[in-house]
Structure 1
Amino acid sequence: MTDRHDVVIVGGGLVGASLAIALVRQGVEVGLVEAAPAGQMPAVFDQRNLSFAAATVNALTALGVMQQLRTPTGPIRRIHISRQGDFGRVRLEAQDYGRATFGQVVVARDFGEALEARLDGLSGLTRYRPARFVGFAPDEAGHRALRIADAEGERTLHARLVVAADGTRSAVREALGIGVDEHDYGQTLFVARVRATQAPDGTAYERLGDDGPTALLPRGDRHWGVVHGVAREQAESVAALDDAAWLARLQRAVGWRIGRLVASGERSAYPIARVVAQRLVADRAVVLGNAAQTIHPIGAQGFNLGLRDALTLAEEIARGDDPGATSRLAAYAARRREDRERTLAFSDGLARLTANPSPLLKPVRSAGLVAMEAQPSLQAFLVGGAMGFRGDVPALCRGEAA
């Protein structure tokens, strides 16, 4: 069986589904290859807390996704950054930059349901699910051929552009022969929902430590989303803690900024590694989202960066008749360079510096926090990146029609 599309996206997660919506909105005929069957959420749409930068909120509102959320989001009105054992702290207020918020906290499952509601019934979209990428087939002029397997057997899809949005261990990226650079941070992040004696007030806390960051994110349900980093060798013992011991550990990590922690939901654990594709494009193919770069979640940059990948690609596709033209893909890669390189450097540098326990680095870190608190220009640089306004920003992220 053979099907033809302008664009085939392999991967129906956060970035792949968002790209599909953006392209169909432009009149592009899209095939979406998804691992999860109809009526079932992909595993990525779990209880993780996603911090949407302001640029991301702008774009997802323009795409009609934010309006589909059925539960309230948590506004981030201020950010508080500190490190255990170091002097200094950084406090950022959105109102100081003429904005009501820096962004919003959204539960991944709620976001998945909103994407599904938006995808459902889109004309110009063909969904192959459950299906998996098998490999590439011999191409024909102007198209790339890929093989997928679904309940009906194996079929071949032909597309003028193939998009790899199939995650960190991307099978499409591997089949394209695109190598990766990897770094294991030796950390595991635990994610949960917690309740404290103080309800969220719009403050997001980032508490840095030797074993990784601990973040408290203000959810919209009067709970806090917690992300707690531990050394990989401690992960098994932390997972085995009962709720009382788990909450006590978190309390030691974050202090009493939100009062006493009184309850925790189920914990999920995620080993953290950096996986960065050595190039973004191949013949009639592009990698984006986690397939292009999986980064440390410190600073909450991962999905926001991936969405900017997707929307930049959508803009480039809209500028020509052939979505897989070499010139279009070269333009895409050039536009993504600054944002990608700066975000990768920021995330990796912050993760390595703040998790290094060397006493020689303590005065450097403390001086950096003090300087950041005192220098508006340094704060503005941090805020611009945190809000998603870095490099060549897609029009939808800027709140403009496209």
Structure 2
Amino acid sequence: MTQDLRSDSPAHDVVIVGGGLVGASLAIALDVLGLDVGMVEAAPTGALPPVFDQRNLSFAEATLHALEALGVLALMRAPTGSIRRIHISRAGDFGRIQLQASAYGRSEFGRVVVARDFGEALEARLQQLKQLTRYRPARFLGVGPIDAGLRSVRIADAAGEREVRAKLLVAADGNRSEVRRALAIGTQDHDYGQTLFVARLRARRAPDGSAFERLTETGPTALLPRGDGYYGMVHGVASADADAVAALPDAAFLARVQAVFGWRAGRLLEVGPRSAYPIQRCVADALVAPRAVLVGNAAQAIHPLGAQGFNLGLRDALTLAECIADAQQDPGDESVLRRYALRRTEDRTRTLAFSDGLAKFTSNDAAWLRPLRSAGLLAGDAIGGLQGWLVGGAMGYRGDVPALCRGKVA
């Protein structure tokens, strides 16, 4: 239901600020626990948040398990693309890494999903929830004092300002999180100096389950197999060149991508509307505060190399839901939040280190690094143990993995 924002100070077990990928997924997971949840959303009724655009999301196997258990995958109407093979190389270096799902007893590593299609499925699932109050369109203004175990949250819409209260406030409002700022949680930031262009692309060779990633000093260029016969394209450029690249006509843009990517998919024939996203790392100094917790990009926004962003954020949400379920008590209790922060440490630390380290290592064009990278690519293709480590991480199995990600129904 959509809450009348003029009523007085309703109280919820949990209030989630942000109705995007992670916030909506958390609301669905908490509904299973029978909790009274409020969700503060900027998008009005009948509209999807801007994050649900034409970007291509690479869902790891662990993510697919969880979304199936949450009843979201069954509501996907558009076809998705299976990733059965992964091919990684770097311009100017020898060697490459090739991974086959069949070599690990899997039919696929994951699937490629268009963000808008996923958003429509999440919205359909949210509409089925019986205990969710949706404050929309609404804007988060700030936090107030904690009184009698409830944190005050100030929000506003066109009708004015009001207060809602929650045993637990969840920040799921992205890398520029206003909730994080209101809680006075600092961040460690890094600008990679790269901008990623994203678009739908058609090539001479139709997608066959192969995902290609070509690394360069200005970021990755990747083609991901979509379910509609197109590729999801990602093309990294130096941010200083982004405006000039954005101004290129389609033919010139395709020629640029072809020159970087090569001919692994044959001639590139057609590109759809392009969107550009500057790439910056933003990592929160803490995951929790009194009766508050950060999830998804509010907790960590990482380089998209390796396609770990949403997969990591979903594991945040599901781990939080598990901690609340296991405690069987006040969801904002200090012990619940302490347990959540502890459980997220290994997965978060390893994924951040992998993403940041790989982005910096592969973009550094120093001559002395080239033989090291080449040796790494050759080793990655030849050494089974190293491949297994890469595959396990790519499929979402790092650290303390939530039960739903392991294919276990709660």
Same fold (TM over 0.5): yes
How many residue pairs align between the two structures? 402
Which residue does 1:367 correspond to in 2?
Answer: 375
> Partner amino acid for 2:401?
V
Structure 1 residue ranges, 4+ long, deviating more than 4 angstroms after superposition: none
Which residue does 2:335 correspond to in 1?
Answer: 327
Question: What is the CA–CA distance in structure 1 between the aligned matches of 2:217 and 2:141, rounded to whole Å?
Answer: 42
1:231 aligns with 2:238: yes
Alignment of 1:204-215 (within 5 A): 204-215=211-222
Identity in percent: 68
| Offset, 1:174 | 0.4
Alignment of 1:15-94 (within 5 A): 15-94=22-101
| Offset, 1:220 | 0.2
Which residue does 2:202 correspond to in 1?
Answer: 195
Which residue does 1:128 correspond to in 2?
Answer: 135
Which residue does 1:352 correspond to in 2?
Answer: 360
Question: What is the CA–CA distance in structure 2 between the aligned matches of 1:32 and 1:26, rounded to whole Å?
Answer: 16
> Partner amino acid for 2:194?
Q
Q: Any idea what SS the aligned residue of 2:404 has? A: coil
1:393 aligns with 2:391: no
Which residue, out of 153, 176, 191, partners 2:160?
153
| Offset, 1:41 | 1.0
Question: What is the CA–CA distance in structure 1 between the aligned matches of 2:146 and 2:396, rounded to whole Å?
Answer: 37
Q: TM-score, normalised by structure 1?
A: 0.99
Which residue does 1:380 correspond to in 2?
Answer: 388
Q: Any idea what SS the aligned residue of 1:241 has? A: coil
Which residue does 1:269 correspond to in 2?
Answer: 276
Question: What is the CA–CA distance in structure 2 between the aligned matches of 1:279 and 1:205, rounded to whole Å?
Answer: 35
Which residue, out of 229, 249, 265, partners 2:256?
249
Question: What is the CA–CA distance in structure 2 between the aligned matches of 1:61 and 1:358, rounded to whole Å?
Answer: 44
Q: Report Cα offsets for 1:316-354 as digits up to 9, x if no partner.
A: 011221100101100000000000000000000000000
Q: Report Cα offsets for 1:146-172 as digits up to 9, x if no partner.
A: 100023321111100000000001000
Structure 2 stretches of 5 or more lacking a match? 1-7
Question: What is the CA–CA distance in structure 1 between the aligned matches of 2:47 and 2:195, rounded to whole Å?
Answer: 27
Q: Report Cα offsets for 1:278-310 as digits up to 9, x if no partner.
A: 010000000010000000000000000000000
Which residue does 1:305 correspond to in 2?
Answer: 312
Q: Report Cα offsets for 1:248-278 as digits up to 9, x if no partner.
A: 0110111000010100000000000000000
Question: What is the CA–CA distance in structure 1 between the aligned matches of 2:400 and 2:342, rounded to whole Å?
Answer: 10
Q: TM-score, normalised by structure 2?
A: 0.97
Question: What is the CA–CA distance in structure 2 between the aligned matches of 1:313 and 1:142, rounded to whole Å?
Answer: 19
1:2 aligns with 2:16: no
Which residue, out of 102, 108, 115, partners 2:115?
108
Which residue does 1:12 correspond to in 2?
Answer: 19
| Offset, 1:139 | 2.2
> Partner amino acid for 1:32?
M
